[in-house]
Structure 1
Amino acid sequence: MSPFPSLALFRPHRLSLALATAFGTLALAGAAPARAQTVAAEAPTDSAPATAASAAASGTASGAALPTVSVSGRSATSEGTGSYTVRSTGAGTRMPLSPRETPQSLTVVGRQQMDEQNLDTLNEVMRQTPGIVVNRRDERVDFTSRGFSLSQMVDGIPTLAYNNVSAEASMTSMAMYDRVEVIRGPAGLLNGVGQPGGSVNLVRKRPTQQFEGSVTVGVGNWNRYLAQADIGGSLTASGGVRGRIVASHSGGDTFIDNKRRKDSLLYGIVETDLGARTVLAAGFEYQKNDIDGANFGNIPPYYGNGARLVVPRSYSFSTPWSTWNMETRRVFVNLQHAFDNGWQVKAEVAQVKNQRERYSGDLQSTLPTFPINAATNIGVVSLSDNPADGTNKSLDVYASGPYQLFGRTHQAVIGFNVNKLETEIANNSALNTGTRLDRRPGGVFDLGAIAKPDFQYPRLRQNAETEERAAYASTRLQATDALSLLVGARVTSYENRSYQRSWAGTANGARVDGVPIKETSVVTPYAGVVYDLTGEFSVYGSFTQIFQPNTSKDESGNVIDPQRGSNVELGVKGEHFGGRLNTAVAVFRTKQDHVPVATGTLQPDGSPAFRGERGTVTEGFELSVSGEVLTGWQLMAGYAYGTPRKADGTPLSPHLATRTVNLATSYRLPGALSRLTIGGNLSYQNATSMDIVSKTPLTQGGYTLIGLLARYELTPRMTVSLNVENVTDKTYIWMSGQSGYMFGTPRSTWLRGSYRF
C-alpha cells in the first residue's frame, strides 16, 4: 500500500477530462467529412493496425465487411532503410510530419547508424547526436542540450525524471529499440514536467509480418564479449498474431582497475489483430546490469595543500568490492483502433520497476571538507550500503486525425496521461555509533586494503511519491498550401510528497515528513509556424513555455521554487532527394528562473545545497545534416553553440561544453567492392573548467575524438565488422561540476559477426 494515501494513480483531473472530452468531441465530429484513407497515429512506426487492415482486405480478419482503412502513413521505422535519417516522425507533436514540417530542432538516430557505428547503449547513441553534450559522473551519465538536461520518453510516453533509483542511462541497452528521437529545446507539449534541454524518445522494435531474425557475436579489448539474437514474425498462418523477441548479453573488464561488468536484456512483444481496425499489443522488458569495482563519486584533483594529485587513467577511486547492480522490469499493454474517418485512438498502460543494489567504498573528493594528506597519501573513504527501489506506473490515451475547416484539411491531436513514481532509497552502515555516514581513513593508492564490512545497521530510509497528471491538445492548421500553423497547450498538475526515517543520533527511526511540492493546472502553451519556400526549403519559428518542478534544496533544506521560462526558436530546414537527405539551421533564445546552482555548501542532512538562479539566458545556434549525400554515402553531422549564462553574464555551467561538432558517416563502395562499407565518426568539444574551493580551477582543453569502422559482407546474409573508437588514444576527462572528474575511455576495439535469416 502506498505510504501516501491521499495520492491515487488514476485520479481524475477535472480540467484534463473537460479539455480532452470537449476537444475530442469537436475533432471527431469535424473529422467525418475528411474520410482520410492514410494517416498515422504518431510517429508512424510499424503501425500495428496497418496489419489488421491488410488482414481485412484478404478476408482473414473479423469485421472484414467494413471498408479497409490503411493507417501506415509515411513509415518512420528505421530498420531496413539503410538510412541515417527518417522521412517522417511524430517527435514532439504526435503528428506524422517530415523533419522539414516540424517547427523544432530534432535528430533521429536510426537502426542503420546504431548497427554500423556500434552504438550499444544510450550513452553511445547520444555521443553521436548533434547538439548533445555527454558528461559522465561515476556510473551515471548526464545528457544535456543547450546547457540543460533532457527528459526521457519510451514510445512517445513521458516518464518521470530518471534519478539514482531508475536505470542509469549509461546502462540502457539499444538492442530492443528501432530508433532514438531527440528534440532539442523544451518539449512542453508532450512532456509538460520536462527539462528545458529537450527530450529523448526511445522507440521500441515492433513485430514483423514476415519471419526474420539475426544473431550477432562480438569480442573487444579488455576481454569484452557480446551475443545478441533478434527474431520476429507471424505466429499464425493468417498473420493476425505477430511476435518479436530480442535477447542480449555482454560482459568483460574495463580500462579501470578492478572494474568489470555484465549486462543482459530480454525483450518480447506480441501483437494481435482484434478485427480489421483494432490491434492489441503486450510486451515486457527485463534488463540486468552488474558492475563489480563500480565507481561512485569522482577522482579528487588536488591534495589538501593544493598540489595536483596525479593518477593514471586506469585508477579506481573505489574499493574492489564496490558494486552497482541494477534490475529493470517493464510491462506494457496498448490498444490501438483506427476509425473509417481517418482518426485513430491509442491507449497504453505500463509499469516499470527498478531495483538497485550498491555497496561502495569511495575516496571522497570534496574540498576542503575531505583533504588528502600529500605526505602520506591518506584520504577519507566513505563506506555504505545504498539499496534503492522505484516503481513508475503510467497511463497514456490520445487520439489523432484529420478534420475539415474552411475547405482545407487540418490535423489534430488530443490526449491525457498520468504518471506516478514511488521510490525508496536506503543507507545502511557497519557502524552503530549514532552517525549516519561511515567515513574512515584510507590510502589513495591502497583502497584494496579496506575490507568489505557488514552493513547491518540501518541509518536512513527516504521515501517519495511523485504524480503528474496532464491533458494536452494541439492542431496543425494548413492556412495555405505553403503556410502551416501548429498551436497547442498542455495543462499539468504535479505533486511530490516525501518522508524519511533516520537512525542517526537520537532520531531512532522517527518519521519526518518533507515539504510537499504541489502545482495545479499549470498551462504550457506551444506555437509554431512553418512556411514552405520552394518545396525543398522551409522557414519556421516556434515558441514554448517551460515548467519544471525542482527537487533540489537550499542550505535550510527547503525545496527551490519550480523552474519557469520560455524558449524562442527560428530556423530554416531543407528536404532533398525526395526526403533522403535533411538539413537544418536554427537560432534560439531561452530564458529561465529558479535554475538550481550548487552553492558549495551542505544541507542539514549533509547533501549538497543549491540556490535558485534567476534571470538565466541561453542563446545559440545549430547546424545539422542527416541522410544520403550521394549514392551509398550516409552522413549525420552537426555543429552546436549555446552558452547558458547567469543574470550577471557569467557562465552557468562552465564544466559543460558550449561548442560541439559531431559527425558519423559510412560509405558503401561501388562496383566490385560493393561488399565493403567504410566510415567512422568524429566528435569535438571546446575547453571546459570547474572551480575547486580554494584551489586552482580544473580545466580540460578542447579535444577531438575519432572513430573508424569497416564492414564486409561475406554473403548476402553474413557480415563481419571492425570498429575502433578514440583511434588516437586521446586522454581527456569529464568533470562533475562540483568536486572531481572521471577519465574518458581510451582507444577501444570491437570485432563482430552478424547473420540474418
Structure 2
Amino acid sequence: MFSPVVGARPHCRRTLLSTLLLAALSGAAGWSQSALAAGSGTAKTYNIPAGPLGKTLSTFALDAGIAVSFEPALTEGLRSDGVAGNLPARDAAARLLAGSGLEMVARADGTYTLRKLALRPDGSNAGLPAITVAAAAERSVTTEGSGSYTTRATGAATRMALSLRETPQSVSVIGRQQIADQNLMTLADVLRQTPGIVADRLDERVTFSSRGFALNTMIDGVPTLSFNTIAGESSMVSTVMYDRVEVVRGAAGLLNGVGSPGGSINLVRKRPGTEFAGHVTAGAGSWNRYNLEADLGGSLNAAGTLRGRMVASHTDGDSFIDGKQQSEDVFYGIVEADLSRDTLLSAGYEYQRTAVKGANFGQSPLFYADGSATHLPRAFNSSAPWSTWNMTTERVFVNLDQRFDSGWRLKVDAAYAKNRRERYSADLWLYPGNISPTANTGTVQVADNPADSSNKSLDVYATGPFSLFGRTHEAVAGFNINQYNYGYSNSGAVRNAFDRRPVNIFDLGAVAQPNFSYPLNQFSGNTEEKAFYGALRFKPFDALSVLIGGRLSWYENNTFQRFWTNNTNGALVTIKPVKEGEVFTPYAGIVYDINKEYSVYASYTDIFQPNTVRDASNQIIAPRRGTNTEFGIKGEHWGGKLNTSFAVFETQEDNAVETDTGAPLLPDGTVPSRAVKGARSQGFETTIAGEAATGLQLMAGYTYSSKHSNKDVLLNPTYPRRLVRVATSYRFPGSWSKLTVGGNLSYQSSIYYDETYSAKRACQGGLTLIGLMARYEFSKQLSLALNIENLTDKYYYTGLGGYNGYTYGNPRNAWLKATYRF
C-alpha cells in the first residue's frame, strides 16, 4: 500500500513539463526518462532540517515540485541529515537519502518512488531507471559540503560501501570539514590528528605507524607503491586534492595482503559536481609564509554529463629553523563523463613539487663525545644552508565505473606515477658521536643523492548484492597489480669514499658546495605485487553480518647495487631476490547489532609483509608473518551523525625488524636491521566522531598500544604507548551563527632513546599540545579563519633516535586565511 502522493504544486506543473520536454529533446546520456535527473542542471535553494526521512522527503518533494510515493515501512525508523544550500534536485535527493540504503526512481507516469539499493529477489523493481547515475552515487559518500567530522560510508577496509558501524575494524575518516577547520595542509598534519597514529619525523621525512607498525598507502582505494621510496615522500602530500583521508588501524589484509599489520591510509580525491562551484583562498602565516589556492569545478556541457574540476595551490616561506625555506606547488585536474546513465569515465592528472632549501638529512646530535647533553638552540640547523631537497610527483589516472540494474558495480582503476628527488647536502654525521663539547667540532658528510621511481597500478573489482535462502547478501571480487621501479645513487667530491669533513657545528655554512664529480654507489630495484581478492558479506538475519574473504598474493623484489673503485664502474651486485608465490591471507569479520544504536564485532586477518631492509650480511630479511585479531563495540547515534567505538586488539608477528645496534654500517652507509621473532602488540582504543551536540563537531580518540619482543623487551620505545587526539569546532546558533570556534589537543605519553655510542638515554615526558581555530563568515561567500598551533609554545621532540639524534617540533605559530566561495 503506497502512501498518498506528496508534492506536485500546481504552479510547478508547467516547469516540470518543460523540463521533461527539454530532456527528451536533448537525449543526453539516457536522462530523458527521469525528470529529476534532467532537471539536475538547474540549481535551487533548499533548507530542509534534519528529521525523520519520510518527513524530509515530503518537504523536498514540495520544494522540488515533484510527486513522490513510497511504502511507509521503507522509511520507518530512518532519519535524514536534511539538506541546505543551492543544489540541483538530483544532488539534494542524494544527500537526503545518503546512508539510508534507498534510492529514488522514476515511474512511468512521471512520478517517483523509493526502492532499496539492492533489488528485491522477485525483481519487482526491475526496469525502473534510478535517478542517481554513477557520478551522483560517488558524490553521495563524499565529505565535502557535509559539515561533518564523520562519514556515512567507507569501503577502506572491505571495498563494500559500509557504515563505520558495519565495518569490523577500527576506522577513522578525516573529512574535508575537519581538514579545513584545523588547517591540515599536508598528510602529516592530518595523521597527527588521527586517533591511534604516531607521526615520527626523521628529517624532511615522516614515518606513520599504528599499534607499533607502519601503514600502507592507497589512493581512491587502490594500493600504491609510489610512496615506498626515498623519491616519494608521503608526509609531504598536500591535502588540497583530497576529499578525505580514511585510516584503517590494524592489518588491512583483504585489500593489502602484501601490507603492514599497522593498517592503511586511503587518500580519496575530490570529484567535480554538476554546478559551477569553487573557492579562492589567500593566507599568511608565521615565518613569512604565504599560501594561494584556487579550486573550481562544475559542468562542462548543458546536460551536466561532462564535468571537470581544477585545483591549484602555491605555498612558500621560511621556517623556525635557521636558513630553511620551503615552497610547494600543486596542480590537480579531473574530468568526468557520463557515457550513459550508469557508466562513468574519469581521467585526471596530479602534480606536486616541494622544494626545501637548508634541508635536513639526518638529525641534530643529542650528546657530545663526553656524554654530556648538547642543549642546542631550537633553531639549530644540522645541515649547510645550501643543502637542498626537492621532490616532484606526477600521477595520471583513468577510472571506469559501471553500474548495473541488478545493483552490481564494476570498477576499473589504472594509474601511473613518477617520482623524482633532487638532494645534495652537507649534514652532521652522527655515527659515531664525536662532537667536541669544548671546540664544538664535528663531522659533516657531503653528498649528492638523487633518486627516482615509477609505479604502474591496475585494480579491477566487482561488488554487489546476491540472493541466497531468501535473503540478500553482498559480495566483492577483484584483482590488482603494482609494478614499481626505483633507483638512487651517491656522488661526492673525493674518490672512492664518503666525503666527510671536520667542521664547527655552529658554522656549517663554512663548508662550500662542491662539484659532485665522483660517483660512489648506485642502487636500483624493481618490485611486482599482484593479487586476487574477494569477500562475502552474509546476512543470516537482519541483526547479524558475517564477512569472510581472502587475498591470494604474488610478490617479487629484485635489488641491484654498484660500487665505484678507483673512479671506475664497479661490478653490478645482485642481492638475493625475494619471491613469494600464492600466499593466502584470510580475512574474517562478524558484526552483531545489539539494538538500533550499538553493534559488537570481531575480526581476524593473517599478516604477510615482505621486508625491504637488510641484515648485517647485506641480505633482505625474510617476510613478516603473523596474525591480527580485534574485538569491539560500535555505536551509531542520531541517524549516523555521531559514531563511537571501543576496541581491544592483538597482533603477533615473526620477522619484525629492529635496528642492529653495534653492527658495522652496510656498504651504502645505512644501519643494518635484525629480525625479531615473536613480536607482540596489544592494546585498546576508544573513539568518537561526528556531531556531539547541535553545532558541535568532534573527532577524538584515546589509544593504548604496547609492542614487545618474545623476551618481553619493549620495542619502539621512541613511540608513545598512550595517545589522546581531539579536534573540535563549534558553530554558534542564532545571531552568532557566522562565528565558528574550536581547536585541537594532542597528548602522548613519555618516550626515550638509548643513544647508540654513548649508551646515554634521552627522554621526553608526557606531552600535551594545544591548537586553536576561529572562523567568521562575513557573507555566504567570504570568510576569514585564524589557526594557532602549539598555543603554549612547548619545546618537544617530533622525532627521536631516527638517526641517533633528535628533531624539534614547531614552536607556536599561526595562519590567517581569507576564503571567497563562488
Q: With structure 2 as the length reference, what TM-score do the two structures score?
A: 0.83
Q: Does 1:463 align with 2:524?
A: yes
2:179 partner SS: helix
Other structure's SS at 1:114 match? helix
Distance 1:57 1:165 in 2: 61
Which among 741, 759, 784 is matched to residue 720 of structure 1? Answer: 784
Residues 609-624 of structure 1: pairs in structure 2 closer than 5 A? 609-624=672-687
**Partner SS state of residue 175, structure 1:** helix
Residue aligning to 1:62: none
Partner Cα distance (1:73, 1:243) in 2: 15
Per the TM alignment, residue 620 of structure 1 is displaced from its structure 2 partner at its CA by 0.2
Q: Radius of gyration: which is bigger?
A: 2
Partner of 2:394: 329
Given the alignment of the two structures, is residue 602 of structure 1 paired with residue 664 of structure 2, yes or no? yes
Q: 2:415 aligns with which of 347, 350, 354?
A: 350
Gaps of 5+ in 1: 1-35, 39-44, 59-64
- Structure 2 CA distance, aligned partners of 1:515 and 1:672? 70
Matches within 5 A, 1:724-739: 724-733=788-797, 734-739=799-804
CA distance in 2, matches of 1:323, 1:487: 49
Equivalent position SS for 1:309: coil
Structure 1 equivalent of residue 607 of structure 2: 546
1:127 aligns with 2:192: yes
Alpha carbons of 1:455 and 1:464: their partners in 2 closer, same or farther (altered >3 Å)?
same
1:404 equivalenced with 2:467 (yes/no): yes
Larger CA deviation: 679-688 vs 372-381: 372-381
Report the counterpart of residue 320 of structure 1 in structure 2: 385
Cα deviation for residue 193 of structure 1 reads 1.1
1:395 maps to what in 2? Answer: 458
Q: Distance in 2 between matches of 1:526 and 1:684?
A: 33
1:336 and 1:305, CA in 2 relative to 1: closer, same or farther beyond 3 A? same
- Counterpart in 1 of 2:255? 190
CA contact (8 A) 1:598 1:738 kept: no
Map Cα deviations across residues 489-528 of structure 1 (whole Å, 9 max, x no partner): 0001000012122114587332111110000010000000
Deviation at 1:195, TM superposition (A): 1.0
Q: 2:539 aligns with which of 470, 478, 490?
A: 478
Deviation at 1:154, TM superposition (A): 0.2
What is the CA distance between 1:240 and its match in structure 2? Answer: 1.2
Which residue of 2 is the match for residue 211 of structure 1?
276
Q: CA deviation at 1:463?
A: 1.0
* 1:636 lines up with 2:678 in the alignment: no
How much has 1:604 moved relative to structure 2?
3.9
Q: Which of these residues, 479, 483, 501, is aligned with residue 420 of structure 1?
A: 483
2:254 matches 1:226? no
- Residue type of the alignment partner of 1:602: P
Change (3 A) 1:626 1:528: same
- Dislocated runs of 4+, deviation >6 Å: none
Shift of 1:370: 4.2
- Indicate conservation of the 8 Å contact 1:498/1:515, yes or no: yes
Provide Cα deviations, 1:583-634, integer angstroms capped at 9, x if missing partner.
Answer: 0000001100001110122344132111100011111000000000111000
Residue by residue over 1:418-450, the C-alpha shift from the partner in whole angstroms, topping out at 9 and shown as x without a partner, is 001100101111112x22x11111111110111
CA distance in 2, matches of 1:602, 1:67: 71
2:577 aligned with 1:516: yes
1:189 to partner: Cα distance? 0.3
Does the CA-based 8 Å contact 2:518-2:567 persist in structure 1?
no
C-alpha distance in structure 2 between counterparts of 1:195 and 1:710, whole Å: 38
2:652 aligns to what?
591
Q: CA deviation at 1:139?
A: 0.1
Q: How does 1:137-286 map to 2 (within 5 A)?
A: 137-160=202-225, 162-286=227-351
1:94 paired to 2:143: no
Counterpart among 635, 638, 656 of residue 574 in structure 1: 635
Aligned residue for 1:379?
Answer: 442
- Counterpart for residue 292 of structure 1: 357
Q: Residue 659 of structure 2 contacts residue 672 of structure 2 at CA under 8 Å; is this kept in 1?
A: yes
State the shift of 1:142 in Å.
0.9
Answer whether contact 1:418 1:469 (CA < 8 A) is retained: yes
Matched, 1:754 2:819: yes
Q: May I ask how many residue pairs the two structures share in their alignment? A: 703
Give the distance between the partners of 2:470 and 2:151, measured in 1 at CA. 31
SS at match of 2:340: coil
How far off is 1:695 after superposition?
2.9
Q: Quick one: distance in 1 between partners of 2:750 and 2:376?
A: 21
Q: How far did residue 736 of structure 1 move?
A: 3.1
Alpha-carbon spacing, 1:513–1:507, altered in 2? closer, same or farther (3 Å):
farther
1:5 aligned residue: none
Q: 2:760 aligns with which of 680, 691, 696?
A: 696
Deviations 1:196-230 (A, max 9, x none): 11100000001111110100110001000000000
TM-score, normalised by the number of residues in structure 1? 0.90
Asked if 1 retains the 8 angstrom alpha-carbon contact of 2:226 and 2:454, the reply is no
- C-alpha displacement of 1:360: 1.1
For the residues of structure 1 that align with 2:226 and 2:216, how far apart are their CA atoms?
7
Q: Which moved more, 1:736-745 or 1:200-209?
A: 736-745
Letter in 2 for 1:642: S
Aligned to 2:625: 564
* Rounded Cα–Cα distance in structure 2 between residues aligned with 1:579 and 1:322: 50
Instruction: Quote the offset at 1:280 in angstroms.
Output: 1.1
Residues 1:450 and 2:511 aligned together: yes
| Contact in 2 for aligned 1:46/1:77 (Cα 8 Å) | no
Higher RCO, 1 or 2 (CA under 8 Å, sep at least 6)? 1
- Cα distance in structure 2, aligned partners of 1:706 and 1:170: 21
Correspondences of 1:49-88 after superposition (within 5 Å): 68-69=129-130, 70=132, 72=137, 75-88=140-153
**Aligned residue in 1 for 2:173:** 108
2:26 aligned residue: none
Q: CA deviation at 1:244?
A: 0.3
User: Match of 1:3?
Assistant: none
2:742 aligned with 1:679 = yes
Please give the alpha-carbon distance, in whole angstroms, between the structure 1 residues aligned to 2:150 and 2:581. Answer: 39
8 A Cα contact 1:616 1:644, kept in partner:
yes
Aligned-CA RMSD value: 2.2
Task: Report the CA distance between 1:166 and its aligned residue.
Answer: 3.6
Residues 439-496 of structure 1, C-alpha deviations (whole Å, 9 max, x = no match) = 1111111101110000021111111000001000101000111011011000010000
Give the letter aligned to residue 710 of structure 1. Answer: A
- CA distance in structure 2 between the partners assigned to 1:275 and 1:581 by the alignment: 36
- Identity over aligned pairs, percent: 52
Tell me, yes or no, if the aligned pair for 2:98 and 2:152 is still in contact at 8 Å. no
Cα 1:73–1:320 change in 2 (3 A) is closer
Judged with a 3 Å threshold, the aligned counterparts in structure 2 of structure 1 residues 489 and 222 are, in CA distance, closer, same or farther, namely: same
What residue identity is the alignment partner of 2:531? A
The letter for the 2-side match of 1:248 is: S
Gaps of 5+ in 2: 1-73, 75-89, 91-96, 111-125
SS of the residue 1:611 aligns to = strand
After superposition, the Cα gap between the structure-2 partners of 1:637 and 1:547, relative to the gap in structure 1 and judged at 3 Å, is same
CA distance in 2, matches of 1:258, 1:228: 26
Q: Which amino acid aligns with 2:206?
A: V
